[in-house]
Structure 1
């Protein structure tokens, strides 16, 4: 190696290039530190304090965590979150695979238009989606879903106060909004599967279900695990949909864990309890996401 490569001038040029690269990416890390990392660390600190947002903080140890764990409303919110997540996520991932398979098929025309149509709900404002579904699932007889029920001879449902009505309405909202997102992800994965496999399966007389079961799903295994992981995290963080649908009336039938900690912070002004709830939710998300990923890894092995 020549002496020029080790010269101070060459070394200074490398340092300048590295410094310019770090300067270009620094805005992301600065914003993340201010609006991401600091709130997370501060929330962990607040979990052990009693604070109303204005006065002095008082160290209370694990009292906030004990209060949350002994609060029946917290366990009710956790149960609601899990049920809504299962109802809105599991059917969504299953239907997304079949939709992606159909969009990837050469038999379907206007594929670009269908892809844009399926993805459109994801880019639509969550508040707008919640308002529209709030009208559709109105508890009044003129609500769209209740009108359909009445045509079938069924009684109207009070969607905002009924125990299962609230959960089903919010789950349908989540299903509709995220279906296209997962469909596009699966579609991108399917486009990487060689067509020779499907052609060979067709020659052997395989049905559509057999192609999906023995070719598509095994080849999409990493992507399926990825979507299950993300869907688990997202389902445990439900906030905007139930908040808008319930109109700020945080009834026990529809309150989620994030709504619970939001109520503790901004309604009861108990930021310590809210932070403790956030820490507990963080641990729950880790457990659920890990378990779901391990189960998915075994099922699609």
Structure 2
């Protein structure tokens, strides 16, 4: 009996040759559109920032290193001499003192009052739209008009504020002579304009807080104040950080209010309310007309704002990275029941 070896398998048929497919121009354009279009969409902001923000910043640094006058134009290169001259000016240190004082009198009460107003507007009020639009009206008023009105309110002789103080037996306050009263008056102008604007930002953040958290807090027996400090404030912490940073930047750049506080616009006879931006304006366009020193003041103010902004960012980041308040067992159960009811609707 003979054994036959199995026949070898038949070779697989060769696949027909296919020429490489050429990608059409429309497909290439589509790929470019997917990759490039996001950058094109955001490019206008960066182009505008480069033209109106970055270039003036660099150009100001160049001007601060030269003798530069309004009529003579660019002069000799002097290095950091403009900065040294600014440091030797007493009015520069007065302007820094006034700027920080007005900033503290305005920003701290402004944030606190804005949160309180937002909490009230977040309640079930009648004519809610009317009240919400009403708090924004001061922001629409021109700063010059606000300055004229508050300048008369805080007038030393015939002001309405001094008339009220006299009616209750308090001596009139020299709002345009003393340092602290003038800062309080200017800070009140700033608060009048910006408190309602910040309140609407806080209101938008409060309306984004899940209502289930309030329901859980109510079941746990928390009152309105407890709900506000244990639920609302932790949930809008990022918005509070944003408002604090923007208020810091705006408060250190205050110009309109001290400029129109009196009829001269020079910061007072003894520079009682001269701010750094007002001092910068006087150096560049006032009696001295020295662009080099004005540019040096601008850069010093920029460095101060960056330094304070970094401190604010570090503090608020440390606060925001803290442990969030934990819900109790009843709160977790109420939260779960509310989510289950919502899914079954």
Is 1:173 aligned to residue 167 of structure 2? Answer: no
- Bigger mean CA offset, 85-94 vs 193-202: 193-202
2:318 matched residue in structure 1: 298
How big is each residue's C-alpha offset from its partner over 1:115-151, in whole Å with a ceiling of 9 and x where there is no partner? 101111112211111111111111223x111111111
Number of aligned pairs?
297
2: CA distance, partners of 1:3 / 1:124:
66
- The Cα of 1:26 is off from its aligned counterpart by 7.1
Is 1:212 aligned to residue 199 of structure 2? Answer: no
1:257 matched residue in structure 2: 276
- The Cα of 1:204 is off from its aligned counterpart by 2.4
TM-score (norm 2): 0.79
RMSD of aligned Cα (Å): 2.4
Counterparts of 1:143-292 in structure 2 under 5 Å? 143-247=159-263, 248-251=265-268, 252-267=271-286, 268-292=288-312
1:109 to 114, 117, 126: 126
2:78 to 33, 42, 60: 60
2:335 matched residue in structure 1: none
- The Cα of 1:34 is off from its aligned counterpart by 4.1
2: CA distance, partners of 1:91 / 1:74:
26
TM-score (norm 1): 0.90
2: CA distance, partners of 1:181 / 1:121:
9
Structure (1/2) with the larger helix percentage: 1
2:142 to 100, 120, 125: 125
Q: Against the structure 1 CA distance between its residues 38 and 53, is the aligned structure 2 distance closer, same or farther, given a 3 Å change threshold?
A: farther
2: CA distance, partners of 1:196 / 1:28:
39
2: CA distance, partners of 1:103 / 1:147:
33
Q: Which consecutive residues of structure 2, in runs of 5 or more, have no partner in the other structure?
A: 1-19, 323-345
**8 Å Cα contact 2:266/2:274 also seen in 1:** no
Secondary structure class of the residue paired with 1:159: coil
- The Cα of 1:22 is off from its aligned counterpart by 8.2
Is 1:80 aligned to residue 85 of structure 2? Answer: no
Is 1:90 aligned to residue 108 of structure 2? Answer: yes
Counterparts of 1:12-23 in structure 2 under 5 Å? 12=29
1: CA distance, partners of 2:275 / 2:206:
35
1: CA distance, partners of 2:213 / 2:31:
49
Secondary structure class of the residue paired with 1:51: strand
How big is each residue's C-alpha offset from its partner over 1:20-76, in whole Å with a ceiling of 9 and x where there is no partner? 998887776665444433322211111101111221421100011111122221111
- Bigger mean CA offset, 212-221 vs 8-17: 8-17
Q: Which consecutive residues of structure 1, in runs of 5 or more, have no partner in the other structure?
A: none
2:333 matched residue in structure 1: none
